Structure 1
Amino acid sequence: MRFTELSLVKHRVRLGAPLPFNVRAADQTLLPARGQVIADAEQLGALMQRGALVDIAELGDVRLDVEAAAPSQLPQLWTQCLNKVGDVLMSAEGESFREALDDAVEPVQMLIRRDPDLAVFQVVQQQAGESLAYGVKRSLQSAVTSFLVARRLGWNVNESGRALKAALTMNLSMLELQGGLARQLTPGTPAQRAEIRAHPMRSVQILERAGVTDPDWLAAVAQHHEEQDGSGYPSGRTDVHELAALLHRADFYTSKLSPRANQDAIAADRAGRQMFMQDPGHPMTAALVKEFGVYPPGCHVRLASGETAIVLKRGATITTPAVAALCDATGLSYPQPIRRDTARSGYGIAAVLGSARASARESAERLMPLAMA
């Protein structure tokens, strides 16, 4: 049997109603069985405090696939799960949005835990489906980044999960506008700027209509563009919620990796340097840059050999990641990517390339066998 934490599926428990699955202790001893009733929030909280588990097979959804999948199958599951989250975000005004979001984000959290390097690859390479709107892709980038950084900061499973959902929903009210602005060559119009300033509170209103009552989630969405010096919006407050501060940094970093009509994406190492320059000494910034590193999985690099390569995963040291060469020194693409050892003389990393300068892009599915080599 494979298990997930009860805290990750707590939304499926209806207080005062029969349990839809068995709940077990860490040693797999049966606690409340399927059909028994959890009387109140205190009883549910006590079970989660004990680290109670649920058999994934009893959940009957993609989580079982995530747990059982071979490493080579994970990229396909990432695409499937991100597309599902994207569909949910685009129907935020529909019925049962909150429940649908909870169901959609659980397997994403599991995928991140299984392979954090592949999660970073999704962010840097923007692997979400081509059919997804630009605004949805940006939300997914920020959300995965927020979850990764929350874990590095030592936040617990509930706090990390809240960070993921808050980042996904902070721009609910302007997903379409984001896409338009990304394609627009001219500066924003007064109407567009007004919509941008209003979007935090409008997104909060959408969440409240959907039944979200978590004060930390709502505060983070409301304040994710506030600054500690009072220069942010919509309220110009200085007492910024901790989660809002994390979302703000994740959004800033990932925006640098995303091309727009009037701006190329920049190299990952440069994005990290900009973070440090604008926010020196902040622990969240330090955690974000440390999580992604100088050569994050998914970024393009030039090797000492002159080849263009893509980083597959982190290596034994921060300067020797696993990479796959895509093109030779003349720019000619190889028929198949070639694994290179960056610790060897002649194959060290000479430079990080922005996506506009890289001569090829690759899917995670094609690269996964090399990542496992």
Structure 2
Amino acid sequence: MKLAPVSFSNIPLGRPLPFSLHNAEGILLASRGYVFNEREALDTLAAHGTLFVDPQEVRQYRRAMEAQMNSMVNAGNTTLGQIADTQIMAPEPSSAPSARPPEELGDPDAPIDWLDMQSRANTLLRDTKSLRFMFRLDRLQRDLSRVLTRNPDTALFALIHLTASETRYYSATHAMLVCAMCSLAARDVLNWSPELETTMVRACLTMNIGMTELQDQLTLQREPVSPEQREQIEHHPLRSVQLLRERGVRDPIWLEAVQQHHQVSAGPLGGRTPADQIARLIHRADGFAARLSPRATRPPMAPSAAMHATYFDESKKVDEAGASLIKAVGIYPPGSFVKLASNEIATVVRRGANTLTPRVAVLVNREGMPMLEPAIRDTRLHDHRILSSVNYKDIRVRPDLVRLLALT
């Protein structure tokens, strides 16, 4: 889609937008018909950088405006002031830059602050009424996509480590892990288009906005789920769609994927609609990420066990979506713990040439003593092959996330 820049002075306040607004990458910021009622919203747009419109929408708008003005002039009883008040000037269509300049995106080599990412995702999911919602979503999506492209092992390590080691910001961390797994499967295994992957990322990040607070609460709750909570859980996909619509989202694939992510049936991905494919992939990654997380009433499941449950569908048959996730992240994904043939305990820091031979860093030596410095092992070698997965609760050392991320 070719885009044309638009001036902020052409954006109406208190009136429906005559055309959709996009950023330089073509990501939708505000749909046609959205009403900016507050100056703060336009200030937020200004901080977002140059805005762009679809020239075809502009041409359609111009034709409609010309027809309306001609009708008013021919009516004979319309003042010049009324005619001028109806016109919202639009830019002439022109070629937009293919991408935002690198300097506007920040330093691409700068390390990701994962605790800050958690906090930002938590704010996004809890403050869905904010006029800044779409801008926060855009920024979070951009940062996640950047690290998933440049170093996916870092993203997997950080998100799996945070998922298994803490309950703070559960809903936010869960959404980002599902997003990371689905993105890698879509890109590296299923060969989905970049456009479909972008839609899927948005669906992953927003699938549970209808119950974010409840999700975080249930992680710490020891009592059984109440009937009221059960009802909220069952209806959260529809609630999430409602909240997205209120923020101006009109993408039918995005909305349908969110609505169906708990209801989509098992079976091959071929022959499904794009929304159904996204929903199925999310559904399988959603279950995997939930099993990794600790609850007040149970410890986290080991990743290999969670992977086994993801690989087979509800009928105990191999699931195409689940299998693509495993192929993308590995049976022993970064951030998980394993026991080696050398009797050492290690954490996986990078995926390997196949799903069974990742790169690992030893944290506990064969005598059961913590290592002062992690030692890298090649699991392709017989003496260092992986014997089994180790549950996070059975690890006696608490590795430093920042220190280990350097090894990814």
TM-score normalised by length of structure 1: 0.78
Q: 1:281 aligns with which of 307, 310, 318?
A: 318
Corresponding residue number in structure 2 for 1:254: 289
**CA offset at residue 45 of structure 1?**
12
Give 5+ residue unaligned stretches, structure 2.
Answer: 1-22, 33-45, 60-91, 267-272
Q: Contact conserved, 1:7 with 1:158, CA < 8 A, in 2?
A: no
Corresponding residue number in structure 2 for 1:81: 117
Q: Contact conserved, 1:79 with 1:129, CA < 8 A, in 2?
A: no
Equivalent position SS for 2:113: helix
**CA offset at residue 53 of structure 1?**
2.9
**CA offset at residue 357 of structure 1?**
1.8
Q: Contact conserved, 1:8 with 1:106, CA < 8 A, in 2?
A: no
Corresponding residue number in structure 2 for 1:331: 368
**1:1-373, aligned counterparts within 5 Å?**
8=25, 10-11=27-28, 39-40=55-56, 52-57=98-103, 59=104, 63-65=105-107, 67-69=108-110, 74=111, 76-126=112-162, 132-152=168-188, 153-228=190-265, 241-278=276-313, 280-371=317-408
- Out of 331-340 and 307-316, give the one that drifted further: 331-340
Counterparts in 2 of 1:83 and 1:9: CA distance versus 1, 3 Å: farther
Equivalent position SS for 2:124: helix
Q: Contact conserved, 2:184 with 2:329, CA < 8 A, in 1?
A: no
Q: How many Å separate the matches in 2 of 1:96 and 1:178?
A: 23
Q: Contact conserved, 1:304 with 1:346, CA < 8 A, in 2?
A: yes
TM-score normalised by length of structure 2: 0.72
Give 5+ residue unaligned stretches, structure 1.
Answer: 1-5, 21-33, 230-237
- CA offsets 1:273-323 (integer angstroms, 9 cap, x no match): 112233533321211111121211111001112111100102234332211
Q: How many Å separate the matches in 2 of 1:137 and 1:239?
A: 25
Q: Contact conserved, 2:237 with 2:258, CA < 8 A, in 1?
A: yes
Corresponding residue number in structure 1 for 2:41: none
Opposite residue 271 of structure 1, the aligned amino acid is A
Give me the CA root mean square deviation: 3.5
Q: How many Å separate the matches in 1 of 2:235 and 2:51?
A: 46
Q: How many residues align?
A: 334
**CA offset at residue 12 of structure 1?**
6.4
Equivalent position SS for 1:370: coil
Counterparts in 2 of 1:79 and 1:139: CA distance versus 1, 3 Å: same
Equivalent position SS for 1:172: coil
**CA offset at residue 111 of structure 1?**
0.8
Q: Contact conserved, 1:307 with 1:327, CA < 8 A, in 2?
A: yes
Q: How many Å separate the matches in 2 of 1:87 and 1:129?
A: 21
Q: Contact conserved, 2:29 with 2:134, CA < 8 A, in 1?
A: no
Counterparts in 2 of 1:119 and 1:41: CA distance versus 1, 3 Å: farther
Q: Contact conserved, 1:295 with 1:318, CA < 8 A, in 2?
A: yes
Corresponding residue number in structure 1 for 2:16: none
Opposite residue 264 of structure 1, the aligned amino acid is P
Corresponding residue number in structure 1 for 2:43: none
Q: Contact conserved, 2:349 with 2:361, CA < 8 A, in 1?
A: yes
